[in-house]
Structure 1
């Protein structure tokens, strides 16, 4: 866990991207113009030391608690106490006495801040893996089981909020007297925000459903470095709030999943997408992308890049 420093830290899960591999290669488009294929998933959807956390004080943690948890009960606050304690340990670990002879302590001192959130993200991915496996065969019944529904919601909310795009938006949008504290606490904020969103969705899950969209066209679904998109958010100004919420998550070139209110798409839980529908949602994915777009087809990305230029 903390034996070595983890440098390349992914905000797009490599296991997820494997569904787009053809001949062991993933087609990529960088900055909406540079198209290439790669066998090395270690170098896409990642940034060096992306999850490294800052040393936080009790004041920092209480700020995040007040920001997100002021309206929740004691039992919910208690659930977050362990998370807060892990972040508060950063300063404590750095100050641990060591004579250099205890390898375990030395590794902890060197790697705790760097690896902490990486380990949290790995745990969430472990929860999501069986859910993703079932969804890839079109099985949405996981949402009917309390445990698997909780795991899926925890997973998809984190895939929505942990990206570089979301991180940079949080940091660049931090203004006012608390801006420095927001930037300092960015790692903790995304975890608490994601967990609370997942908890709220879980509490109201009877109002929601999973819908699978099957691609019946010759054009693959694409994905990107913002793999989960609120497709009902049509704001032109991102600084405005939106009350519309529905998540779109392409999971392979042939399948996509929606998490939506029960009234969206009528009573259906499975849809067939023709070419027009696939192109529409591929455009949503393209618009949501930050630095990278992924596909099973390099030609598809070259065609998209040429359309962007014109």
Structure 2
């Protein structure tokens, strides 16, 4: 095994839907405001973003009990397995330190750096069908229980895994000052499994397939999924309302909302102004990266920003 240094908090395969030649993608980075192009390997990632920490035995016990309490009957078994995987490094390191095992450094470092990254790779596979949709019938898997569950867990994990959501959790959740910072990433995953399970198994959902036939593309960002019912200045704010918006490709997006009946709906949009409204939803979330298939789309966005200042 090798160390996975560049760890993406937005799935690279998803971003590939906006790329052009040789896996390059146009983007605006918030700090510079410049329109640039680079390889997918260099965006929406940080060096060892998913690195895990070492915990004390007391911290391990408390963390396990908290997640067990927050989980429900639908997610508890899965979440406790995730806790055990997450704590592998901490437990092995403690035993290795006691036994003074020689040559443990490299192997332990791989566990430390790769464990969460590997878990996210598993959840990313749950989204294979979703990011490949082209017509309304392609989302019929939302009516199949097993596929519906995987897709909704995928959606929820992608919603919470980002750098933006992690930063807000670090700054806004004082409870977790008791734990090393990487615990927040485990909390995000287990919360996502619980939310996704609830949506899949306990709620009726309207899945709206949005077909963009306008002259303006959907953009995406490094916070690619948003709850349109959330205050964008308080992404961690508790709300009982939910409507996930997810641009899947420059010409396709989906909305997932609770409903009185399970239904698949197609919405065709031909007006640029309506697409701009959806794009604005992502921009209001204040992302670090904005991505587009064409650089002209980003220049237009940049000009619109300038004109409003």
Q: Name the count of aligned residue pairs.
A: 299
What does residue 291 of structure 1 align with?
A: 288
Distance 2:264 2:182 in 1: 44
Distance 2:90 2:229 in 1: 41
Distance 2:44 2:182 in 1: 23
2:200 partner SS: helix
What does residue 300 of structure 1 align with?
A: 297
Superposed displacement of residue 290, structure 1? 2.0
Q: Does 1:99 align with 2:97?
A: no
8 Å CA contact 2:7, 2:48 repeated in 1: yes
Distance 1:70 1:91 in 2: 22
8 Å CA contact 1:64, 1:189 repeated in 2: no
Q: Which region of structure 1 is more displaced relative to structure 2, 51-60 or 120-129?
A: 51-60
Deviations 1:55-107 (A, max 9, x none): 1344334434444442656785333232222222212332435433xxxx654
Query: Quick one: which of 169, 173, 192 aligns to 1:194?
Result: 192
2:87 partner SS: helix
Q: Does 1:7 align with 2:5?
A: yes
Over 3 Å counting, the alpha-carbon distance change for 1:233 and 1:91 in structure 2 is closer
8 Å CA contact 1:174, 1:182 repeated in 2: no
Normalised to the residue count of structure 1, the TM-score between the two structures is 0.87
Over 3 Å counting, the alpha-carbon distance change for 1:73 and 1:225 in structure 2 is closer
1:118 partner SS: helix
Unaligned stretches of 5+ in structure 1?
none
What does residue 251 of structure 1 align with?
A: 248
8 Å CA contact 2:170, 2:181 repeated in 1: yes
1:129 partner SS: coil
What does residue 54 of structure 2 align with?
A: 55
Over 3 Å counting, the alpha-carbon distance change for 1:144 and 1:58 in structure 2 is farther
Over 3 Å counting, the alpha-carbon distance change for 1:30 and 1:263 in structure 2 is farther
What does residue 34 of structure 2 align with?
A: 34
Matches within 5 A, 1:1-310: 3-24=1-22, 25-31=24-30, 33-38=33-38, 40-70=39-69, 76-94=75-93, 95-96=95-96, 97-100=100-103, 107-133=106-132, 135-138=133-136, 139-175=138-174, 178-181=176-179, 183-205=181-203, 207-234=204-231, 240-262=237-259, 269-273=265-269, 274-309=271-306, 310=309
2:253 partner SS: strand
